Amino acid sequence: MLLAIAAIVGGLILLVWSADRFVDGAAATANHLGMPPLLIGLIVIGFGTSAPEMMVSALASLNGNPGIALGNAFGSNITNIALILGTTAVIAPILVTSSVIKREAPILIALTLLALWPLVDGVISTHEAWTLLAIFAFYLGWTVYSGMTNGADSLTEDVTAPSLSPLAAWIWLVLGLALLVLSSRILVWGAVEVATALGISDLIIGLTVVAVGTSLPELASAIAAIRKNEHDLAIGNIIGSNIFNTLAVVGIAGVISPINLESEVISRDWSVMMGLTLMLMLFAFRPNNRPNRINRVHGAIFLACYIGYTAYLIYSGFNA
């Protein structure tokens, strides 16, 4: 048990560090290859902060632990909004000015609603997972095309590639990816061992410990962005990551192995995820030309929702 807990803690630390190195290497490599700032921004905002979720869910699915894979995806979305955005807004109110965010937020709501479709029959099949990945590919292509034709935006202007030589960029890219795989394996093993020892489902572990751990890059990015007064980047990280989790993370895990669902996934986890996404839209966008702002009261509400949801998960997990 102690070894498994140590594996979770050590795996999370290595996971966050390697994800950061991987993102730096990917962004610097893209810059050396002459890619435009928008694409570099997408690497940092989208793939970068969602790299831990993608790797952990893929390896969990390969190891026959689909509960961790799905719990990690949905739990990370819940954590991103309720815990990370809530904490960030309590520290400093978040202003929303980016046209990209105003366009992406309704898309996130639509995709979260779409995520209900493969859950209804109790299993995310390989066919449904491929459909999610196809939608993700279309979304990514549309985002790139839209960004290239509409010009610069305050969101991507805040993103700059790290100053690395071509050799250093490739080294961090390859080494970061290798360490991502290694740390994900360590984390998944520890999570499964703890779940087994405590007699709770791997879905609960995925929704709580693993989800919080893999969302640490989003937390670090959001707080750093607020400190630099880059408010759009803070919320853009959350929206971009949740879209990637909903489509790519669930899709990759389901392609590797069909995911059988626990009965509470729709009534509890998807419903909370959908409710928080609607609250984000309600809080962030004001009518009558009022400033778009997520204030400290909104942040406190998000945090209260997260505490209540997590407490219920822990209670139901030990009383199942």
C-alpha distances (whole Å) from 21 to each of 16, 48, 175, 177, 220 are: 9, 10, 8, 9, 14
pLDDT grade for 62, boundaries at 50, 70 and 90: confident
Domain ranges for the chain, please list them: 42-159+200-319
- Between residues 231 and 210, the one the model is more confident about: 210
Q: Is the predicted pLDDT of residue 240 greater than 60, yes or no?
A: yes
CB 8 within 8 A of CB 190: yes
Q: Is 202 exposed, middle or buried (0-12, 13-18, 19+ CB in 10 A)?
A: buried
DSSP secondary-structure letter at 92?
Answer: S
Q: What is residue 110's predicted lDDT score, i.e. its pLDDT?
A: 93
Q: What is residue 114's predicted lDDT score, i.e. its pLDDT?
A: 93
Q: What is residue 158's predicted lDDT score, i.e. its pLDDT?
A: 53
3-state secondary structure of 121: coil
Global confidence as pTM = 0.81
State pLDDT tens for residues 177-191: 788 778 777 877 887
- Between residues 269 and 294, the one the model is more confident about: 269
**pLDDT above 90 coverage of the chain, percent:** 20
Domain 42-159+200-319 has CATH 2.60.40.1930: no
How far is C-alpha 277 from the geometric centre of its chain's CA atoms? 13
Q: What is residue 38's predicted lDDT score, i.e. its pLDDT?
A: 53
Q: Is the predicted pLDDT of residue 159 greater than 60, yes or no?
A: no
Q: Is the predicted pLDDT of residue 93 greater than 70, yes or no?
A: yes
C-alpha distances (whole Å) from 276 to each of 39, 59, 83, 112, 174 are: 28, 28, 11, 10, 36
DSSP secondary-structure letter at 257?
Answer: S
State pLDDT tens for residues 126-139: 999 999 999 999 98
Q: Give residue for tokens 């984390």.
A: 187
Q: Residue 143: which of 74, 53, 49, 240 has the closest Cα? A: 240
Rg (CA), the chain: 19
Residue 231, both tokens: 């408010």
